[in-house]
Structure 1
Amino acid sequence: MMNLRMRPIMLAVLSTCSVPAFAAGIPTLQEVTVNSSSRDLIGVADSASEGTVTAKQLANRPLLRPAEVMEVVPGMIVTQHSGDGKANQYFLRGFNLDHGSDFSTHVMGMPINMVSHAHGQGYMDLNFLIPELVSTVKYKKGVYGAEDGDFATSGSARIDYQRKLAAPFIDLTVGQHNYRRLLTAGSTEINGFNLLAGIELAGNDGPWVQPENLEKQNAVFRLSSGTTANGFALTAMLYKADWTASEHVPARAISSGEIGRYGTLVPNDGGHTHRYSLSGEWALTGENSVTRANAYVIDYGLNLFSAPSGYISGLAGDQHEQADARIVWGGDVRRTWFLGPELRDTELTAGVQLRQDRISKVGLYNTVNRQRINTVREDRITETASGLFIDAKTQWLPWFRTNIGARYDAIRAESTALGGANNMTNGGSASASQASPKLGAVFGPFNLVGPTEFYANWGHGFHSNDARGASAKVNPQDGSAVDAIPLIVKAKGSELGVRMVPLPGWNSSLSVWQMDLASELVFIGDEGVTEPKGASKRSGIEWSNYFTPFSGVIVDADLALSKARFRDDVNGGRRVPNAIPLAASLGVTYDDGGPWFGGVRMRYLGSYDLEETGTEKSEAFWMTNLKLGYRFNKQWQATFDVLNLFNKKANDIEYWGGACTRSEALAGTGGCGTGSAIDGRLVHPLEPRTVRLGVRISF
C-alpha cells in the first residue's frame, strides 16, 4: 500500500505510465492499471460493486453477440428476443432493463441510451461494438457515482477503445447458419500521432426457419496523441445494419406443431438502423490537478418492424413500424484537484454535462409486410439535459476515507405532434429537475482474512421518462383522455459491502444492496402509450470473485440474488415480472503467451416470475460457451468457438402476454382475429449449438 499522504501525487504519476494490464473485473481508479506483481487491489475502490475489466480478460471470452461484452459486469445478463440488429435485452439487480432503461452506458464518452426512443425509453444498442478493440470496461452498480446521471439506477458502464494496436491484423471467421465475419484493424504513427482504423463486415442467417439475412457494416477511425491521462483522441464511427427478425412467439404455437422451434408467426419482421458519430476527448494531468473534456455528435436512425402479438387484429397480422431519426450532441468537462496533506489528501472533482437530442421524427405506424397502412402517432421532439456534479474523496485516517458527492440534473423537452388521427392534440413542453446526494465511506484496510476493506454507500439517482408520455393528453390509439406522467422518476439506493484478498491473486467482494424506485411507469413503444405501474422496492446480495492462481490463468465467479416487488398490488400481485432472482456465472481463461489459449464460460439463469402473481414462471437453465485457440507462429493463429456447447434447449427470454397464432385467427379461437388475444407464455429460444472457426493473420 502506498503512503497515504503521497497517494494523490502517486496516482497522477501512475496514470501516465503504460504498464501491463492485470486488473480485469477488479476495482481500480480511473486510469490506474497494475502489473502482476501488485495483485492485491485494496485501497482504491469507493464501493464493493465497481470495477475495471481490461482487454486481457475480454480477449479469450467466447461471445455470441457483441453486447455480451456487458456480461463482464458481475450479475449482468444479456439476451435477445428478436433479430441481431435490435438492441439486446439486459437484466441486472432485479431489473428487467428492457433495452437499457435503468443502466447507463457510454462508449468513448458518448451516451448510448436513447431518450424518448421509438421502441423504448433508454434504448441501448451496442451491436456496433467491436470487442477486439475494447481496452477497458469500467462499471459501477447502484446510484452512488456523482458523474452518473440519467438511467444509472441499477448502474453504469464506460467503455473505451484502444488507441494503438501491437500489430495490424485480419480476422476471418465463418460458422454454421451462414455466419461470416471479416475484421481488419491496425494502427500506425504519423508525425507523432497514432492513427487506428478498424473495419468489420458481418452477416448471419441464424438457426431460424426465416433466415435472418443480417448484413452489418462497421468502421472506426481514431486519431490520438499521448495517453488517456495526457493527450487527446478524435474518433469517427460508422455503423449500419439490415436484418430480418424472428420475434418471440406463443409457446403453444411450437408445442402444437403450428411452427417449429425456430419458426416465426409473421414474416418479414426486422429492420434497418445506423449510427454515425464523431467524438473528441482531451486530458491534461498536472502536478496537482487533472482536467478532462469530451464532445460528440451522433447521427442515429432506426426503422423497426415487429409483430410480437401475431394475429390479434386479423390475418394480415399485427406488424407495426417504429421509426426514429435524430441528431444527438453534447459534451462533458471536469476537473480534479489533489488538495494535499493539509486538506487530508482530498481529491475534489467538479464537472458539467450537456446533452441535446434533436429528434426530427419518432413514429409508430401499422404496417403489412413493412408497408405503412396507418399512422398511429408521429412526433418531433427536442430534449435537452444538463447536469452539474461535485465529488470529494477524503482520507481522514489511515483506516477511514469518505466519498461525498452531489449532482443536479435538469431536463426540458418540447414535443410536437406531426401525425396520427388521435394524436394531434398531444404535445407541448415538459420539464423536471432533481438534486441527487451521494455518500460513501470506506473502512480499512485491515489485515483480517488478508487485506480487507468495508464499504457503506447511499445515494439518489433517477431515470427519465419518454417526453411523449410527459406531455400526453389523449391516448393515440383511441383518443381517450390520459394523464401526463413525470419526466423524472427518482431512485434511492444503499449498499453495504466488503472486499478482501484471502490469498494472493484472489480478490473477493460481497455486497448487500437495496433500491427504491418511485414508479415503474413505462412508455410502450409498441402502442404509443404509457403503461402504469406502481412504486417498487428491490434488494439483493452479490458475491464476485477474481482469481489468478497461476500465470496466464484467470478465474472469475459471480453469484447474484435479488428480490423485486411492487409496493402495492398490480394485477393481483406484487411481483415484478422478468426480474431474475438468481444469476450465476463461472469463467476460466488461459493464455500464458504460448501456442494454446482459450476460455470456457458457464452462465445460469434462475426461474423468474412472468406476471405479478408469481403463478407463471420461466424455466431455469445453464448454458456453456467455449473458445479454443492455437498460435502457429507470431503471424498466424486459429480459433474454434462452440456456443451453447451442450446444445441446451431453453429460452433466451420468456414473457407472459396476449397473442394469437395464424390458426387461432382462422378459427376465431378466443376472439383472435377480431381484436381479442389469448394470454400465455411467449418465448424466444436459445440458439442451438453453433460452431465458428476463425483465422487471424498479423503483420
Structure 2
Amino acid sequence: MHGLDRNLRPLKSAITGSHGAYPSRRHLTRITLMLAGMLSAPATEAAGIPTLNEMVVRGKTNNLIGTANSANEGTVLKQQLDMRTVYRPGELLESVPGLIITQHSGEGKANQYFARGFNLDHGTDLRISVDGMLVNQRSHGHGQGYADLNFLIPELASGLQYQKGPYYADQGDFSSAGVVNIGYVDKLPAGIANFSVGNQGFMRGLVANSRDMGTGTILFAGELNTKDGPWLTKENYKKFNTVLRYSQNTGNTRFNITAMGYGTNWNSTDQIPERGISSGLIPLLGAVDPSDGGESHRFSLSGALQHTSNYGITKANLYIIHSNLALFSNFTYFLDDPINGDQFSQLDKRFQTAFNLSHAWVNNIAGFAVENTVGVQVQNDVIENGLLSTRQRQTLSTTRRDHILENSIGLYYQNSVQWLEKFRSVAGARSDYYWFDVKSNNSANTGQQYDSMTNPKLSFIFGPWAKTEYYINYGSSFHSNDARGTTTTIDPRSGDPVGRVNPLVRSTGYETGLRTAILPGLQASVAFFRLDLDSELLFVGDAGTNEASRPSKREGVEVSAFYMPNNWLTVDLDYALAKARFTGSDPAGNHIPGAIQGVGKAVIAMDNIGPLFGSIQFRYFGKRPLTEDNSVQSNNTMTLNGQIGFKIDKKVRVILQGFNLLNTHTHAIDYFYTSRLPGEVAAGVADKHFHPIETRSFRVSIVANF
C-alpha cells in the first residue's frame, strides 16, 4: 500500500490544494486501489517458486470490497496463475469464474470460449487484451472477433483482470459478455530456464531474463514448442515465440516499449460425425480429411506511458500488429463437391494499429469525493481476406477476395461519486463511430458503410456491512459485425441475393449481486444477470464462420468463492448457470445452438508443506442445445487435471503435470449440421459432429532460476 500511496501524493495534493476538503481515508484507499493499474507499480514476482503465503501477502488480502463496481469483476494474481495446470496457453483464462476454454481443431487456431450462456466461438462478445493490445480481430476471415492467444507466454503474465457485462465505459467492441486483460511483467527477480517433455510428442523450451540498463530494465524471452497430440494424423505442431521489452518505472513518468514475434504451423484433426465412429469408418482419433491444418504468425510493436501529476493520472498506449492466418478446413467432407471434397481455405492478413489515451483525476465538489475518467480509443485495420476452394491445400477456385479498411473512434467518460459513507454511484457514457470500406472481387459486394452508437452505464454500490458489499448495475454495449456483411448483396457461393447486416449491434445488461469476506479466509461473490442482444452472432458449423441471427436474451447466476483456511491450502470454486433463448416466436424453436447452460470449476492448491507443492483442477462443461428446437443436445464433459512439484533447492524445481487424468472419452465440443461421407446420399446426412477431448497425457518440467 505504501508504494501506491507514494505515487498518489501529487493526486492527493491536487485534491487538498484545489478544494480544501479532503476525502475520507477509506475513500482514498479505494481511489488508490482503483487506479493502481494506471500507476504501473512494477510487477516482478514471476520467476520465484510461488507460495500460498505470498498469495495472501501480495494481493489476496485485497478482497475488492470498497474498490469493485460490480460483483462480477476480479483479479487473478500471478501466483494463482502459476498453480494452474494448462494444456494450452489460452486455458489460463479458465481462472475467470464461469469461463470455459476448449478447442475444435488444431492447436494453432484460436480457442473456443464459453461464458454467460454464450458459445463465444473464437472470441465474439468476449473482449481480450494482452499487455494493452486488443487480441480480438474484427472482420476476420475465420469469424468475427477472432482472438488467438497462442502467442501468450504464461511465465510472463503478471496477472489477470476480468469484468463481465456491459457496465464499463472504457470497454467497447466485443465486451458484452465480458472483458479479460492480461498484463506482462516489466522485470523478473531471476532468470527462468524451463525445459518440458511429455508424451504425444510434446517438447517445450523457454528462456527468460531481465537486466537493469541505465535507469530502466530490459526483458527478453524466447520459447520453442512442438507437439503431435493423440491424433492418428500427427499435428506436427511447431511454434516459436519471442518478447523483447524495455521499461522505466521510476519517477512520475513511466513507460515501456515492447516487441513480440510469434509463428506456428500445424496439421489439424477437425470435428468428426458420430455416424462415422459408430459405423467404424472413422477411428475416434482419426480425421476425414487429414490435409486440414494451417499456419499463422503475429508480430507487434507497442509502447505504453503513464504520467502522474497534480492534475491526475494520464495513461497512453500505442501499438501496431501484423498478423497472417492461412487456415484449411473441411467440415462437410463431400457434400458440395463429391469429386474434390469440400475443403476450403480462409485467409486473413492485416495490419492493426491502435491508440488509447485516458486521464483520471479526483476532486471534491460540494463536500463529495468525485472521481472522473475520460478517454479516447482509436483503431485502424487494413485487411486482406480470402475464401478459396481447395483440395489437399491446393487452390481450386476463388470464392471471394476482399480488401477492407475499418476505422473506429471511441469516446468515453465515467464519473464516480461517494454520496454517503456506505453508498456510491458510478455513471458513464460511451460513443463509438465506425467506418467500413470494402472492395470485393465481386463489385456487387463492394461498398462503404458508417455507423455510430452511444451507450450509457450506471452502477450503485451499497455497504459494506459485515464485510459485505452490494451492487446494482445497468449498461449497454455492442459488438461490430463483419465489414463484409455490411456491404454484401450477393452470396459469393450461390449467387443468391442476401440482405446486409447492421454494422453495430447493441446489447443491454442488468445485474445485481454481492461480494463478501464475512468469514476469515473466505472471499465470495454472487451475481444475477440478464443480457439482451439485438442480434445474435451464431456459429455456422458447415461454413466454419458465424453470421448475424435473431435477437436473444440471457438470464443467469454466477457464484464464486476463494477460501484459504490456513497457510498451506487454498480452495477456488465457481459455478454458473444460464438460460439463453432467441426472443420472439419462430417455428424452428428459440434455443440458441451451442449456448452454454451450466459450467463449474474447482481448484485445490497446496504449498508450504516442505519441498512439495501441487494442485488439482476439476472442470465441468455442461450440456448445450445443438438445434433451435432443443431436439439434439451435447453431452456434458468433466475433466480432471493436476500437477505436483518438488523444490530441489531455492532455484530449481521439478513439476509433473497430468491432463485428463481420468482418461474420459468425451467431447471437447459438439455441433449439429449436414455433411456427406463417401457413398452417402447426395443431400447428405444431418448428424452430430464432435471433436474428442485429448486422451490422458503427462508432462515433466525442470524449472531453474538463474
TM-score w.r.t. the length of structure 1 is: 0.93
Find the counterpart in structure 1 of residue 25 from structure 2: 3
SS class of match (2:583): strand
Of the three residues 506, 509, 519, the one matched with 1:490 is 506
The aligned counterpart of 1:334 is 358
- Classify 1:523/1:476 alpha carbon distance in 2 versus 1 (closer, same or farther; 3 Å): farther
Q: 1:388 to 1:33 in 2, by over 3 A?
A: farther
Residue 481 of structure 1 deviates from its aligned partner by: 1.2
**Of 437, 440, 465, which residue of structure 2 is paired with 1:446?**
465
What amino acid does structure 2 have at the position aligned with 1:88?
A: N
Verify the 8 A CA contact 2:331 2:543 in the aligned structure 1. no
TM-score, normalised via structure 2 length: 0.92
1:160-179 paired onto structure 2 within 5 Å: 160-179=183-202
Matched residues, number: 673
Distance 1:9 1:583, change over 3 A: closer
Residue of structure 2 in register with 1:540 after alignment: 556
Matched, 1:621 2:643: no
3-state secondary structure, aligned to 2:80: helix
> Deviation string for 1:50-106 (max 9, x for gaps)?
011111101111000100011111000000000000001000000100000110011
Separation in structure 1 between the aligned mates of residue 543 and residue 100 of structure 2, nearest angstrom: 27
Please show how residues 23-422 of structure 1 align to structure 2 within 5 Å: 35=58, 38=61, 40-226=63-249, 230-287=253-310, 289-312=312-335, 313-340=337-364, 342=366, 344-359=368-383, 361-418=384-441
Question: How far apart, CA to CA, are the structure 1 residues paired with 2:116 and 2:27?
Answer: 37
CA–CA separation in structure 1 for the residues paired with 2:464 and 2:372:
22
Distance 1:314 1:230 in 2: 64
Contact 1:140 1:155 in 2 (8 A): yes
- Report the identity percentage: 39
> What is residue 521 of structure 2 aligned with on the other side?
505
Whether contact under 8 Å (2:533, 2:551) holds in the other structure is yes
Cα separation, 1, equivalents of 2:459 and 2:35 = 25
Aligned residue among 414, 423, 434 for 2:453: 434
Partners of 1:223 and 1:233 within 8 A in 2: yes
Structure 2 CA distance for partners of 1:625 and 1:499, relative to 1, 3 Å: same
Q: Amino acid of the residue matched to residue 259 of structure 1?
A: I
Question: Are 2:693 and 1:693 aligned?
Answer: no
Q: Secondary structure at the match of 2:681?
A: helix
Looking at structure 1, the residues matched to 216 and 532 of structure 2 have their Cα atoms a distance apart, in angstroms, of 48
1:340 partner SS: strand
1:109 is displaced (CA, Å) by: 1.2
Per mean C-alpha deviation after superposition, the further-off stretch among 652-661 and 584-593 is: 584-593
Q: Match for 2:283: what amino acid?
A: G
Offset of residue 282 of structure 1 = 0.6
2:12 corresponding residue in structure 1:
none
Q: 1:558 to 1:528 in 2, by over 3 A?
A: closer
1:185-217, Cα deviation, whole Å (9 max, x unpaired): 111101121111111100100000000000001
Q: Which moved more, 1:1-10 or 1:563-572?
A: 1-10
Deviations 1:130-159 (A, max 9, x none): 111100111100000100000101011111
The residue that corresponds to 2:595 in the other structure is 579
RMSD: 2.2
1:680 to 653, 677, 687: 687
- Note the C-alpha offset of 1:108: 1.2
For residue 340 of structure 1, report the CA deviation from its aligned partner. Answer: 3.3
Q: Distance in 2 between matches of 1:316 and 1:273?
A: 25
Equivalent in the alignment of 2:444: 425
Q: Aligned partners of 2:129, 2:599: CA distance in 1, in Å?
A: 24
Aligned position for 2:13: none
The reply on whether 1:651 has 2:651 as its aligned counterpart is: no
Secondary structure class of the residue paired with 1:425: helix
Partners of 1:190 and 1:626 lie apart in 2 by 39
Find the aligned partners of 1:13 and 1:456 in 2 and give their Cα distance. Answer: 22
- The answer to whether the 8 Å contact 1:441/1:456 transfers is yes
* Contact 1:515/1:538, CA 8 A, preserved across alignment: yes
- Whether the 8 Å CA contact 2:343–2:391 is kept in 1: the answer is yes
- Write the distance in 1 (CA, Å) between the matches of 2:179 and 2:613: 31
The reply on whether 1:561 has 2:561 as its aligned counterpart is no
Q: Call closer, same or farther: CA 1:527–1:34 in 2, change over 3 Å.
A: same
Runs of 5+ unmatched residues, structure 1: 23-31
Cα 1:305–1:596 shift into 2, 3 Å: same
Contact in 1 for aligned 2:674/2:684 (Cα 8 Å): yes
Paired residues of 1:9 and 1:288 also in contact (CA < 8 A): no
Distance 1:518 1:410 in 2: 18
| Cα offsets for 1:467-497 (capped at 9, x unmatched) | 1110011111121111111000110001000
